Amino acid sequence: MSVVKRIHRYTLKSYLGPFILTFFIAEFVLLMQFVWKYVDDLVGKGLETSVILELMWYTSASLVPMALPIAILLSSIMTLGSMAESLELVAIKSAGVSLYRLMRPLIIFSLFTALAAFYFSNNILPVANLKTRSLIMDIQKQRPALDIQPGVFYNGIPDLVVRVDRVGKDKKSLGDVIIYDHSDYSKGNGRVTLAESGRIEVTSDDRYLLLALHNGVSYDELGFFGKRDPNLPEAVQYFKDQVILIDLSEFKLSRESENLYKDHYQMMTISQLDKAMFDIRNEGRQRSEAYTVSMRKTYFFGRKSSSSAQSNPFAAQDSANIRSLNMLTPGLPNNNMKNMMESRYQVPVVQSDSTRPLISFGEFGKNDWMEELKPEMQIQMYDLALNVARSNRARAEDYTNEIKYRNENLARHKTEWHRKFTLSVACVLLFFIGAPLGAIIKRGGLGLPLVSATLIFIAYYLLSTIGEKAAKSLTLTPFWGMWISTLVLLPFGVLLTYMAANDSKIFERETYKDLGKKFLLWRRWRK
């Protein structure tokens, strides 16, 4: 085995250990942050261990896009920094091996990591996001587990409030039980049950809760139509044994939320995103054409045919405006109006389905024909024009909001499409920032490398977050919004790689001491 191959093997071995360690540390920290965020939704609901482990597993997978860049950045700084600190890098360079050749196995490993990250982002991450979000939603909708405490009013059972004075060691025996029935909300505490003792058990199929009461009495307020009548007495019923059956379906975890989120843009692959974006554009084009045709035919060229009206989503509003105009035409001198419009303004009169003419105004320069109408007819014509204008404005505002929502939805899909590639590029870019930076600062371990990696990743994360939000709000295009962090950090990666290859001493004390001495000499020379 040649010396260069041994050096490559040693370098790769030195890199893999910190990479795996930092990756799992980052995953653990991010996972604890997730648990702290949703701790209120997880505690007190009697979740099975398998459900919690499943949630942690899918959440860990969804956190890989954040943990992987951190691991690559920190491990590259630690590896090259440790080699530079122990003067191994100097020995390797003195043997005629350049920094680029030394980094070759790490570069190849980073490229394979980038390809794996792309496959993960496109095929595994959508499934992990779907499972995580649906499972969190199901857990949030689940009721808290039954936990009846002595002396405490427990309202976790639907329509019932239970209070007991004593709870046995077996957690099933109850003493001095009071139950308030709220199934009829109009009567408040319409039914109250008191019992000397009781026992609470779950059926063998875990579907129902049996609340068995002994030696008690029930008070029921009487009335009609669900309301208490103060003129009627209370119904009192004494019992020796009574069983209340409670449905536990709301206390079980239902796994039905996946269908709600499967069409979300974060749950799609590249091919699915392409199809979704095509459908959004196609739908927007159809809506735009329908709106344009409707506005032109309604307010400029007269009534549409019945077939086109049925296929147009705006046909109902158009028909209403046409009916309002037809209501005015019986009082108009139809023949004189037609002759006046065609002779004076050269405006064709479009015949409606009935015998009444529907006036369609094209180009005209004056409103003299209005003066020939009766005053009350003029007022009606002005009111109709005002109503048509208001209707047109409302429809235009609705259509504008629809366009804005569709563009925002399309931008979200585009940002997710670009995200599939930004993770892979970030893995390579952060390596070319971390490895040269470690060779320059000449520090290993978790001290200065950890601080440097944290600052760089915070800058990268902030730029990515700001760009993504700007893209989703249509302030930036999805391309610039998702790639702005890469484009900003790319020059730093190129500069650091060049400086490390040329043995830059920018982070050494002697460099700044020499600059200070030169500055003092320059000031003395000026004096």
Looking at 390, 410, 430, which one is the last position of a domain?
410
Burial class of residue 174, CB neighbours in 10 A (0-12, 13-18, 19+): buried
Question: Residue 458 domain-assigned?
Answer: yes
CA distance 493 to 306: 65
Q: Is the pLDDT of residue 141 over 80?
A: no
User: Could you tell me if 400 and 420 lie in one domain?
Assistant: no
Give the end of a domain, one of 410, 445, 464. 410
φ/ψ of residue 166, rounded to 5: -140, 145
* Mean local confidence (pLDDT), 21-26: 91
Q: Is residue 77 a part of any domain in this protein? A: yes
Are 463 and 341 in the same domain?
no
* Amino acid identity, position 153: F
Q: Are residues 127 and 64 in the same domain?
A: yes
Tokens encoding 502? 């040329």
Give pLDDT, residue 502: 78
Does residue 208 sit in the same domain as residue 291?
A: no
State the pLDDT at residue 480.
92
| 124 and 37 fall within a common domain | yes
For position 348, what pLDDT does the model report?
Answer: 43
From 226, 251, 276, the end of a domain falls on 251
What token pair was written down for 302?
A: 């007269």
Dihedrals phi, psi of 195, to nearest 5 degrees: -145, 145
In a domain, 446, yes or no: yes
Radius of gyration of the chain from its Cα atoms, rounded to whole angstroms: 38
Say which residue the tokens 């139809």 belong to.
Answer: 334
Residue 382 has pLDDT above 60, yes or no: yes
- Do β-strands 234-247 and 208-221 pair in parallel, antiparallel, or remain unpaired? antiparallel
Q: What is the mean pLDDT of residues 40-50?
A: 72
| pLDDT-wise least confident of 47-51, 255-259, 451-455 | 255-259
Cite the DSSP H helix spans in 120-265: 125-141, 258-261
Q: How many separate domains does the chain show?
A: 3
Decide if 200 is inside a domain: yes
In single-letter form, the type of residue at position 369 comes to W
Q: Choose among 59, 1, 71: nearest CA to 30.
A: 59
The residue range of the domain holding 511 is 3-142+416-521
Confidence at residue 498, expressed as pLDDT on a 0 to 100 scale: 83
> Is the CA virtual torsion 172, 193, 163, 227 positive or negative?
positive
Amino acid at 265: Y
**212 within domain boundaries:** yes
Express each pLDDT in 246-269 by its tens digit.
776 666 655 666 667 777 888 888
In this structure, the answer to whether residues 383 and 272 fall within a common structural domain is yes
Claim to verify: residue 276 and residue 395 sit in the same structural domain: yes
Any idea what DSSP says for residue 402? Answer: H
Taking phi over 0 as left and psi of -120 to 50 as alpha, with beta for the rest, 171 belongs to left
Task: Please tell me the predicted confidence (pLDDT) of residue 7.
Answer: 85
* Weakest mean pLDDT among 40-54, 194-208, 238-252, 303-317: 303-317
Residue 151 lies in a domain: no
How many CA atoms lie less than 13 Å away from 469 in the CB half-sphere?
5
In a domain, 147, yes or no: no
Query: Are 377 and 403 in the same domain?
Result: yes
Q: How far is CA 35 from the centre of its chain?
A: 19
Q: Mean pLDDT: which of 33-37, 141-145, 300-304 is highest?
A: 33-37
DSSP string, 52-109: HHHHHHHHHHHTHHHHHHHHHHHHHHHHHHHHHHTTHHHHHHHTT--HHHHTHHHHHH
Q: Which residues contact 177 (CB under 8 A, 6 or more apart)?
A: 162, 163, 164, 193, 194, 195, 196, 197, 198, 213, 216
**Do both 466 and 358 map to the same domain?**
no
**If you average pLDDT over every residue of the chain, what do you get?**
76
Within 10 A of 455 (CB to CB), how many other CB atoms are there?
Answer: 10
- What was the pLDDT predicted at 253? 59
**Is residue 153 one of the residues assigned to a domain?**
no
Question: Residues 410-422: what's their mean pLDDT?
Answer: 91
What's the start-to-end Cα distance of the chain, in Å?
63
Confidence of residue 335 (pLDDT cuts 50, 70, 90): very low
Are both 281 and 361 inside the same structural domain?
A: yes
Same-domain status, 314 and 369: yes
Is 237 in the same domain as 194? yes
Residue 112 has pLDDT above 60, yes or no: yes
pLDDT digits (tens, 9 = 90+) for 79-105: 888 888 888 888 888 877 788 888 888
